Amino acid sequence: MTAVDQIRDTVAQNDVVLYMKGTKTAPKCGFSSRVAGVLNYMEVNYVAVDVLADEDVRQGVKEFSDWPTIPQLYVKGEFVGGCDIVTEMTLSGELDALFEAKGIDYSKDAADKIREANA
């Protein structure tokens, strides 16, 4: 199985997947930390894949999404984006709408608090 096949399977079998540098509780870059922090704070159940643990996965996810940077967020098999896009979607409420449309559980109160803190 190639790295791209492994990524395809992981994204297909899990509702929310974050390809990141580090782990949910110990991110190893600021961008990964920001996206994981948003998901953790919003109480989203997600699978985190540490691309630093496997160079083939690190390169394969870039090929899979045709997106050059890490982190990468996938929801119900669809590529959502990286740090800047997820941050913008969080602040605009678009991430809430996406989670609601896809049936993903999250804390609406936490999402509102993020927006209030950044208003």
Could you tell me which residues are annotated as the binding site for [2Fe-2S] cluster? 29
CA contacts within 13 A on the Cβ side of 16: 21
Cα(97)–Cα(17) distance, integer angstroms? 17
| Residue listed under structure tokens 């974050």 | 18
Give binding residues as ranges.
29
| Residue listed under structure tokens 């948003």 | 38
Cα(48)–Cα(94) distance, integer angstroms? 21
Burial of 118 (0-12, 13-18, 19+ CB in 10 A): exposed
